[in-house]
Amino acid sequence: MSDTSKDKNSATLGAFYARVEDGQLVMEPYCSCGNQLDEYYHCDKCNKHSRCTDILCEDQATLNLVEKYIRTSPRLRNFNAMLGKRKATED
Ligand SMILES: [Zn+2]
């Protein structure tokens, strides 16, 4: 079920970036421009909405955790998890 291939298109649509902090999974939505999105997935830099359904995980341990969440949480069932690093913000 998991897609671990590098998909460049996913990053152009905005995506969640996941990491593990103190054993807790932290997921933050980011725009394709690298700006962090607000709670409505709105980017104040591009002034557009991103629909984030991809979750880029910084390492394999994070990916394993995210995949477990996707399997067990109805809220996340339409999400795709994959390995990927956050783009550095360019301005
Ligand atoms: Zn943006």
Nearest to 33 by CA among 73, 90, 84: 90
The pLDDT tens digits for 7-60 are 444 445 789 999 999 989 999 999 989 899 998 999 999 998 888 899 999 999
pLDDT at 1 exceeding the cut of 70 = no
Number of structural domains, the chain? 1
Distance 18 CA to ligand 1 centre (A): 18
Query: Looking at residue 87, what is its pLDDT?
Result: 62
Task: Flag whether 1 is in a domain.
Answer: no
Distance 33 CA to ligand 1 centre (A): 4
Query: Looking at residue 11, what is its pLDDT?
Result: 42
How far from 5 is each of 8, 24, 43, CA to CA, in Å? 9, 25, 26
CB 82 within 8 A of CB 5: yes
Query: Looking at residue 85, what is its pLDDT?
Result: 79
Give me the domain span that covers residue 51: 8-82
Distance 13 CA to ligand 1 centre (A): 9
Task: Flag whether 14 is in a domain.
Answer: yes
Distance 49 CA to ligand 1 centre (A): 8
Whole-angstrom distance, CA of residue 89 vs CA of residue 72? 32
